[in-house]
Amino acid sequence: MAQFDTIRQGAGARTAAIDEGLRAHMNKVYGTMSVGMLLTFLVAWAVGSNDALLSIFRDPATLQPNILGWIVMFAPLAMVFGFGAAINRLSAAGAQLFFYAFAAVMGLSLSWIFVAFTGFSIAQVFLVTAIAFAGLSLWGYTTKKDISGWGAFLIMGVIGILVASIVNIFLGSPALMFAISILGVLIFAGLTAYDTQNIKNTYLAHAAHGDTEWLGKAAIMGALNLYLDFINMFMFLLQLFGNRE
């Protein structure tokens, strides 16, 4: 009986350690994401509220991008693919620095919204997005339902709206933009829950290995995924409900 109690206490201690480690891991994910969001907002506001800076990338009157503006528009997408390819060669500190650089570039690409939309509507949509994101992420973290099967379907949806968005740059169809925005909100809402559960499950699967360097990089990758979910959901909601200047 004493031996059984010892084994049970040992198992309980390991479980408690894993739970504590998971909380610390998720705090790092959300903390890194939050810093990235703040950096994006500051860069976007600094450029978008200054015509001289905005004119480097876009015409302040028409908001049409110039050559540098097109580069900045597609740079975050290229950086995401580059990050995925280089993550194994980066240290945890290097991955975090790359993420913050990505967040700053994303701020440059989104700076036009401070000219196109009223400040109040931007703040309002941001608050709605934050509430929705928090609820979806909490559900993804706490649900007992396995939603890993959503991944392939949601990624296909992301590819679909990405292609449709590029096509609509040249078509300029309001109806297509409306449809893309509706689908975008739904897809990234699903990805928020999916990515949260995936971050949790990935940690639980590797916690026993004690690879702190790998877990550090996994936290940055998780922060990047949730950051992208939030930003995309925010932008699609802004297209749907934002009040234009």
145: DSSP letter: S
Mean pLDDT to the nearest integer, 63-80: 89
Binning pLDDT at 50, 70 and 90, where does residue 40 land? very high
Per-residue pLDDT at 104 exceeds 60:
yes
CB 191 within 8 A of CB 158: yes
If residue 9 lies in a helix (H) or strand (E), which one and from where to where?
helix 2-48
At position 130, the amino acid (one-letter code) is A
Dihedral, CA of residue 170, residue 173, residue 179 and residue 183, to nearest 10: 20
pLDDT value at residue 102: 95
Task: Give pTM, 2 decimals.
Answer: 0.88
User: What's the whole-number average pLDDT of the chain?
Assistant: 87
Write down the pLDDT at residue 18. 64
13, pLDDT greater than 50: no
The helix (H) or strand (E) run that includes residue 111 is none
Structure tokens at 167: 């096509």
Query: How would residue 239 be classed by pLDDT, with cut points 50, 70 and 90?
Result: very high
In sequence order, what are the residues at sequence separation of 6 or more whose Cβ sits closer than 8 angstroms to the Cβ of residue 9? none
Residue 63's pLDDT is 83
pLDDT value at 10 more than 60: no
pLDDT at 204: 84
Which residue did the predictor score with more confidence, 148 or 195?
Answer: 195
Residue-range definition of the domain harbouring residue 148: 2-241
The β-bridge partners of 58 are 65
Give the pLDDT score at 209: 67
Number of domains in the chain: 1
